[in-house]
Chain A
């Protein structure tokens, strides 16, 4: 079972990576979202998925017994929210790029290259 989860997480990671390598900005965005989902699954599997009982201390007890590992869950919780924020920031960047350049292909956005070499000497026209 853990082999299957490992296979699925690795497979999603591969699909996300393939999409991130695209030159279309929205494909990059969706690939990043897939990547964060895959990595959250990877982090979650650090808890070894042995128990299906949630890490809640039951009413009569005062410690956890035989539940799922709470520590990877705590790490993944914030990772999910931050991955979501990252995807939305990238979506707004793509939207601004489309408004500014009328294209979503990264190889057609060349306005930075027109400005020339940033390390060139600019003392002659420092204005």
Chain B
């Protein structure tokens, strides 16, 4: 196995040399900023800690640390939408994985022998080294910004949006986002079919109906309505400021997650009043439907139509992009709630 590994590594290096495509190193190195550099190194330490952890809880915490550092990296490099999404995803991942870890044994001794571990470490290091070389080369390549400049120049003039990332997702590349929304809705179906339906007979067994802890029990209704209102605000402002359908959906899911932590899954489902799969499917349907006006009027699916109205002296301008974003919001909310309710009910058996 080691011979094969060494042979492959040698072949890769020979390939670089023979094709005369030696990786370039960028001439200027950029200024080293202490904050992002320290954060990045802490993230790497988190990754190494996760790989070496003997307990699953420690590994989960370390992976969450790496994710939070990724969120900080996004925030410190001019990507606030990404930072919000990553923070929300890390919070939800902690909530969902903790539910799973209630059921599974936390002690996880290594399943590989010493030599197997050494081989796996060499394999992983080889791939990581290759990726590092590729990234260095990518950083040294001349930056092609024609497409980004196209979007930056037309985002406000043609698509009436100031948040260029959101306009790309919802308007220029809306069809890609539609596909991704379909993936999210399908993952909700997968999670529900893996975890949900077989519990119909055991509807009332399992989780006690009492509240988890006093402070959480008292403050959870406040947080629920606050987070729900915040998620709607984030959705509505997404076109011109930081926000959008994805972050809004994740924030609304966090609202329900807090209620499920404090009062249990049944109360959270009662607050929802709809089946999570209805939400996920309805969101996908709404996103699809928002592209139909463009199809009927212009012959282009997902070409967004804008309405201007003068209501009581206020200039209102809204388009089908809001319907599309609302569809994405609902689909993400439905999917995350399908995960949450399914996992908690499965864990309570």
A residues near B (Cβ < 8 Å) are: 1-19, 21-24, 26-27, 30-31, 33-34, 37-38, 40-42, 44-46, 48-58, 61-64, 67-71, 73-74, 76-78, 80-89, 91-96, 98-99, 104-105, 107
Known: A22-B112, A41-B70, A88-B339. A77 touches B82 (CB 8 A): yes
The answer to whether B194 touches A92, judged by C-beta atoms less than 8 angstroms apart, is: yes
> Cβ of B152 and Cβ of A48 under 8 Å apart?
no
Identify whether the interface residues of A are mostly helix, strand, loop, or mixed: helix
B30-42: CB near A (< 8 Å → 1, else 0) gives: 1111001100110
A99 to B241, CA, bound (A): 46
Residue B246 at the A interface, CB < 8 A?
yes
Chain A residues positioned under 8 Å from B40 (CB to CB): 4-5, 8
What residues on A are CB-neighbors of B151 within 8 Å? 70-71
Please determine whether A18 and B124 come into contact, CB atoms closer than 8 angstroms. Answer: yes
The 7 A-B pairs at the shortest CB distance, nearest first, are namely A14-B128, A64-B152, A68-B78, A23-B111, A6-B135, A15-B47, A10-B132
B128, A62: Cβ atoms under 8 Å?
Answer: no
Q: Is the interface of B mostly helix, strand, loop or mixed?
A: helix
With A19-B50, A52-B78, A81-B85 given, is the CB distance from A71 to B124 under 8 Å?
Answer: no
Tell me if B194 and A54 are in contact (CB < 8 A). Answer: no
Contact A56 B242, beta carbon cutoff 8 Å: yes
In the complex, whether B127 has a CB less than 8 A from a CB of chain A is yes
- In the complex, chain B residues whose CB is within 8 Å of the CB of A105: 111
Stretch from B14-22, B138-146, B316-324 at the A interface: B138-146
Q: Are A12 and B66 in contact (CB under 8 A)?
A: yes
Question: Once the chains are docked, how many angstroms separate the CA of A17 from the CA of B12?
Answer: 19
Binding site for A on B (CB under 8 A): 26, 29-33, 36-37, 40-41, 43-44, 47-48, 50-51, 56, 59-60, 63, 66-67, 70, 73-74, 76-82, 85-86, 89, 92-93, 96-97, 100-101, 103-105, 108, 110-112, 120-121, 123-125, 127-129, 131-132, 135-136, 138-139, 143, 145, 147-149, 151-153, 155-157, 162-165, 168-169, 173, 176-177, 180, 183-184, 187, 190-191, 194-195, 241-242, 244, 246, 250, 332, 335, 339, 342-343, 346-347, 349
Besides the known contacts A8-B43, A13-B127, 17 further A-B residue pairs in the complex with CB atoms under 8 A apart: A8-B44, A9-B135, A21-B123, A22-B120, A26-B104, A27-B56, A27-B111, A68-B79, A69-B145, A77-B169, A80-B82, A81-B184, A85-B187, A91-B97, A91-B343, A92-B191, A98-B103
Whether the pair A44, B26 counts as a contact (CB closer than 8 A) is: no
Task: Say whether, besides A26-B108, A62-B157, A98-B103, A17 and B343 are in contact (CB < 8 Å).
Answer: no
